[in-house]
Amino acid sequence: MFSSLITRVIVATITLLIGGVFIYASFNVKHQQDILIENARESTELLLHTVESSIFNTMHLRSLGYRQDVNSILSMVGQHNQLVGVRIFHPHGVILNSSIHGEIGRMIAPDVFRISASLKNYGIFNLSPHGEILSMVKPIYNEVACHACHGSKARVIGILNINYSLNHTKIQMLHALRIYIVSSILITVFLSIMISLILLKLVKRPLDKMINTMSEIEQGDLNVRIDYKGKDEIGRLIVSFNSMVSRLNVAKQELEQLHFEQLERADRLASIGEMAAGIAHEIKNPLAGISAAVSVIRDDMQPDDPREPILGEVLEQIQRLDKTVRDLLFFGRPSLPELTCVDVNNILTKTIRFAAQHRSEASIEQQIDLEDGLSPIYADENQIQQVFLNLILNALQAMPTGGTLLIRTSRSYHGAREFVRVDFSDSGCGIPQQILERIFTPFFTTKAQGTGLGLPICSKLVKLHNGDISVISNPSGTVFTVELPAHNLDAGTI
């Protein structure tokens, strides 16, 4: 269930909402409790001042029998249903007057006595059996009018104390707490439902439309679109999505058209290739006969016969035609390689020796760097030698005025697989970028007498050996790289 983005967003939002409402409700409940306690304290303090004024007036107006009058005032005030007791006690703790006659002469409660000794004039504590109370005290100072009865030595002649029951206040607190809990639950449920509905309508529905549309696109229908009128972020996303699908549809049509054209071209090329192979096969045998006849005629001529150079030129052209025919036949129907374990360094050594016979008169320096201990490769030695010879001859022809030919072997790795790498580097003028992309295309050539099949044949032979051929070129030279999979003699695998 939680794999859905909307579900996770809704759950996270509701969780944050519940947390926020809980914190807000807790703060407000605590605030209301503080207000109720403060109201109780203010009421108690007001009552304390009223009792003090009444006692002061009674003691000054009636000099006889004042104790009875004070007790009457305390008893009358103590009848309030929220007051636990009203009393006057000596600074040493002995109760002098009280609304509860039975406690006169007793010691005041320790908690009340501690309040009278502290800087605060009130405190909240539990008083059995009345529960939690708010106790407030107020000193009665020995004023000039009191000296006649109490003397002038004592500064404080008594401490007035009122104990206010907080039971009613606690009931109000519980009532307020219930109201906040119920209202918080209702608000949370209402907001959760509304937020869920809004997210489902504004987010989930458009996303579901996109998912369904993408499923149709995945099945190949690029004509579908999402209809959404909103201008918000999702609306802009859908507009971009529709635009992307439109471009994909156009690209698909162009690709299909291009693919159709490529198929037609491939079909034509296949037909041309079959025809060329047939023609080459028909030409090969007559060429061999012509070459033999011309050779016989040439051998019968005297060395100083002026026709001898012409026949030599004819034989050279016949050999070129024969090579072209052989390349066509091989490219059209390449023979499968006869695989054996061979050493790349040995093949290169033979090929370099053979290529030396074809070197031009230009001064070309050869640098051979063959790494020792290379793993053997599982390949057709003749076909690999043909690849190497073609690349070496191309490099030599790329340096008509001289240069440096570097041939290097090394190890390379693609993942855990080992390859034998051969680099053929020349210091010629390089291959232009527009030509570099087409050098492996059949029949593409920049040479006056080239067939355009040399490099395509090299590429095909390397691919038949599960290898790879690549080229890097710049104005300072060209590097052809051939990588062939190494053969592990111990494991018996390539």
Question: For 93-115, how does the pLDDT look when each residue is reduced to its tens digit (9 = 90+)?
Answer: 888 888 887 888 888 888 888 88
Strands 403-414 and 364-369: parallel
Q: What is the pLDDT of residue 428?
A: 87
- SS3 (DSSP) at 96: strand
Residue 64 — very low, low, confident or very high, per pLDDT cuts 50/70/90?
Answer: very low
Q: What is the pLDDT of residue 274?
A: 67
Nearest to 204 by CA among 9, 13, 12: 9
Query: Is the Cα dihedral 276, 279, 281, 283 positive or negative?
Result: negative
Q: How far apart are CA 421 and CA 455, in angstroms?
A: 18
Q: Does residue 358 surpass a pLDDT of 50?
A: yes
Enumerate residues 6+ apart whose C-beta is below 8 A from 98: 71, 74, 78, 85, 86, 87, 88, 104
Instruction: Report yes or no: 141 and 156 within 8 Å, Cβ to Cβ.
Output: yes
Nearest to 168 by CA among 86, 84, 90: 84
Mean pLDDT of 446-471: 81
> 60-64, 145-149, 384-388: which range is least confident on average?
60-64
The three-point CA angle 317-322-328 to 5° equals 130
The tokens describing 34, both together, are 């503080």
Q: How many helices and strands, by DSSP H and E, does the chain display? A: 12, 12
Mean pLDDT of 48-77: 69
Phi-psi region of 238 (alpha: psi -120 to 50; beta: other; left: phi over 0): alpha
- SS3 (DSSP) at 241: helix
Q: How far apart are CA 442 and CA 328, in angstroms?
A: 10
Q: How far apart are CA 116 and CA 136, in angstroms?
A: 9
Q: Does residue 165 surpass a pLDDT of 60?
A: yes
Pick from 22-36, 135-149, 223-237, 389-403 the range whose average pLDDT is largest: 389-403
Q: How far apart are CA 36 and CA 165, in angstroms?
A: 12
Q: What is the pLDDT of residue 365?
A: 86
Instruction: Report yes or no: 377 and 485 within 8 Å, Cβ to Cβ.
Output: yes
Torsion of CA 266, 267, 269, 274, to 10 degrees: 140
Residue 65 — very low, low, confident or very high, per pLDDT cuts 50/70/90?
Answer: very low
The tokens describing 331, both together, are 């490219």
Which residue shows structure tokens 């107020």? Answer: 138
Q: Does residue 494 surpass a pLDDT of 60?
A: no
The tokens describing 159, both together, are 């401490």
Nearest to 425 by CA among 377, 489, 470, 361: 470
Pick from 204-208, 250-254, 269-273, 289-293 the range whose average pLDDT is largest: 250-254
Q: Does residue 59 surpass a pLDDT of 70?
A: no
Mean pLDDT of 401-406: 88
Count of Cβ atoms closer than 10 Å to residue 482 Cβ: 25
Q: Does residue 472 surpass a pLDDT of 90?
A: yes
Is residue 455 within a helix (H) or strand (E), and if so which, with residue range? helix 454-464
Instruction: Report yes or no: 131 and 165 within 8 Å, Cβ to Cβ.
Output: yes
Mean pLDDT of the chain: 80
Mean pLDDT of 375-386: 88
Q: Does residue 299 surpass a pLDDT of 70?
A: yes
- SS3 (DSSP) at 467: coil
361 phi and psi, to 5 degrees? -75, -10
- How does pLDDT run across 175-233, given as a tens digit for each residue? 888 888 888 888 888 888 888 888 888 788 888 888 888 888 888 787 888 887 777 77
Please name each of the domains of the chain with its CATH number.
5-173 (3.30.450.20), 288-326 (no CATH), 340-485 (3.30.565.10)
Amino acid at 413: Y
Q: How far apart are CA 240 and CA 247, in angstroms?
A: 10
Q: Does residue 492 surpass a pLDDT of 50?
A: no
